[in-house]
Structure 1
Amino acid sequence: MLNLQNQDVELAVNPRLGGGISAFRWRGLDVFRPQSDSRSGAASPLDLACFPMVPFCNRIADANIAFNGQKRVLPTAPNGIEHVHALHGVGWISPWAAPETSDTHAILTLRQDGTLWPWALEAEQRLSLTDNGYSHTLAVTNRDSSAMPAGLGLHPYFPRAKAALELEAEGYWKTGEDRLPEEYCALRETPQWFSGDRFDDCFKAASSFVSIAWPTHRLTIRSSPNLKFTHVYIPPEADFFCVEPVSHIPDAVNSELDHAASGLVMLEPGETFQIECRFELEEPA
């Protein structure tokens, strides 16, 4: 476990468990839901406070990619988390190395040889504390001999009690019963996020920031322009919710939409795609 800390900020990072974050605190307050104890007794990335999604976000239908006339089969998520689809990439289920660390900064790296994902790749995370939060950079590089589809995102969990979410969006991809995008809907009014309805939908961002407020603190997530979407997951009656900055819609690699609409990125051999999120805290207004 890596423990980064300055005067107001604490960040606990677990390289071996998906390169994820176990806790993020500001002035002693939990900003992310802290890592929970797994019901199975074995540590799971789903118990983390936040994990990286690389080289794709959310689900790929039936764990199959139809790409350049070829069918490529992916593993489904481990431990019965998702029986049908591939989920959240390979970074969250892989151990990462930590070649560089300090009291306030860490670099994590990952290499995949093409076994879990049909292309060889390298990934890197840079986590740096700031006076009022931290910045999180995630990058993926194609180390294969052919072009590779790619996407990136972060999957933080937040405490739900007394939370208020502000998210500016033009519309959203509604998720069907198969947990995949069903149709695009214009957003005519602000959703009632915590009304008891289930949300598992991908919103097209209208701005580069999201705000979450609790009675004791306010968080602003500032995302790089290439994070065009925000996936919101709010399960009914759960004590947490997820607001995930992502670069593409679910199952983008199999979508008939052009890449500009789906957010999918094509990386030639040696090319790198990078995103950044800044998590900034302040006292409530």
Structure 2
Amino acid sequence: MSNEDITLTAGDAEVTVTPGNGGRIGSLRIGDVELLRQGQKFGCFPMVPWCGRIRDGRFLDGATVQQMPLNAPPHAIHGTARDGAWRTARTGTSEAVITYDLLAPWPHPGRVTQLFTLTEDAFTVTMSVETYEDSFPAQIGWHPWFNRNLGQEDVQVDFTPAWQEERGEDHLPTGHRIEPKPSPWDDCFGMPDGVGVTLTWPGQLELKVASREEWVVVYDEQEAAVCVEPQTGPPNGLNTHPRLVTPIDPLEATMTWSWRRL
């Protein structure tokens, strides 16, 4: 199967998926407006088999300590799948499926699948991690870079988390939960009823980021973009909130972006 770019369309919405560039979403256009920051490292990339940073790149895997490469020294960040080439399993006008086989340095064989579905006013991505052999801890998440400005006013970010994970000097959660603080953020928040974050570009567009998961990282310290990242656990979660992938119980998560013009 090829890993050429895939274009999905529905109404005046168009999405580009780039299997060959880490299985990321390269573009989301509503009419003639591009919502995602452009560039090889941007768009929206999958975070799998972990999200955010792992402290010192080490995690406990049963009784074994595994060491991941320190690609954000002194930590390992955002998984391995965004650095690999995915394969297209099937594609149509408004739906596509791509897959990625977990490889070294990740210590366990497994398969990651992303299903993309576009309608006129929403885009849904479901990601799953399966194993046919060993059980292992994993996380799933997405890291979109939404353009801060679509040509007029800067975006407004609105959400009501139940708590904020206190962030230590090493950028990782300390284990304490605190009252949510105002922006700027590079922080993880808890939303036990499901992630719900509204991005509003005044006078232009409103976009809601939704997921049944209860963790979201919001990053708005960059001038060009704002990131709203639903995920199945907090940063360093392979150590603190491990979700086990087993042969009979894959890990699966879904994220939906829905929008309306203002």
The verdict on a shared fold, with TM-score over 0.5 as the criterion, is: yes
- How many angstroms apart in 2 are the aligned matches of 1:183 and 1:159? 31
Which of 213, 225, 231 aligns to 2:217? It is 231
Counterparts in 2 of 1:254 and 1:230: CA distance versus 1, 3 Å: same
What residue identity is the alignment partner of 1:58?
Answer: G
Offset at residue 56 of structure 1 (A)? 1.1
- Find out whether 1:159 has 2:147 as its counterpart: yes
- Find out whether 1:278 has 2:261 as its counterpart: no
Offset at residue 25 of structure 1 (A)? 1.2
Cross-structure match for 1:242 = 227
Cross-structure match for 2:128 = 139
Cross-structure match for 1:221 = 209
Counterparts in 2 of 1:270 and 1:94: CA distance versus 1, 3 Å: farther
Offset at residue 267 of structure 1 (A)? 1.9
- How many angstroms apart in 2 are the aligned matches of 1:59 and 1:125? 22
What residue identity is the alignment partner of 2:225?
Answer: F
Which of 148, 166, 173 aligns to 2:165? It is 173
Deviation track 1:160-196 (CA, whole Å, cap 9, x = no partner) reads 23111111201111222212112433326xx433xxx
SS in 1 for 2:210: strand
Offset at residue 270 of structure 1 (A)? 4.3
- Find out whether 1:17 has 2:11 as its counterpart: no
Cross-structure match for 1:204 = 190
- Find out whether 1:5 has 2:27 as its counterpart: no
Offset at residue 101 of structure 1 (A)? 0.8
SS in 1 for 2:82: helix
Counterparts in 2 of 1:207 and 1:230: CA distance versus 1, 3 Å: same
Deviation track 1:53-88 (CA, whole Å, cap 9, x = no partner) reads 1111111111111333322111222xxxx1221111
Alignment of 1:28-107 (within 5 A): 28-33=32-37, 35-36=38-39, 43=40, 47-77=41-71, 82-107=72-97
Q: CA RMSD in A?
A: 1.7
Q: Larger deviation: 24-33 or 162-171? A: 24-33
- How many angstroms apart in 2 are the aligned matches of 1:186 and 1:76? 29
Counterparts in 2 of 1:266 and 1:206: CA distance versus 1, 3 Å: closer
SS in 2 for 1:243: strand
Offset at residue 281 of structure 1 (A)? 0.7
Q: Which runs of 5+ in 1 are unaligned?
A: 37-42, 256-261
SS in 2 for 1:144: coil
- How many angstroms apart in 2 are the aligned matches of 1:24 and 1:10? 6
- How many angstroms apart in 2 are the aligned matches of 1:52 and 1:165? 22
State the identity as a percent.
Answer: 27
Number of aligned residue pairs: give it.
252
Offset at residue 201 of structure 1 (A)? 0.9
The 8 Å contact of residues 19 and 98 in structure 2, kept in 1 or not, is answered as yes
Offset at residue 111 of structure 1 (A)? 0.9
What residue identity is the alignment partner of 1:253?
Answer: L
Q: What TM-score comes out, normalization by structure 1 length?
A: 0.83
- How many angstroms apart in 2 are the aligned matches of 1:157 and 1:183? 27
The 8 Å contact of residues 209 and 228 in structure 2, kept in 1 or not, is answered as no
- How many angstroms apart in 2 are the aligned matches of 1:270 and 1:116? 24
Offset at residue 159 of structure 1 (A)? 1.5
Deviation track 1:136-157 (CA, whole Å, cap 9, x = no partner) reads 1111112333x21111111101
The 8 Å contact of residues 169 and 207 in structure 1, kept in 2 or not, is answered as no
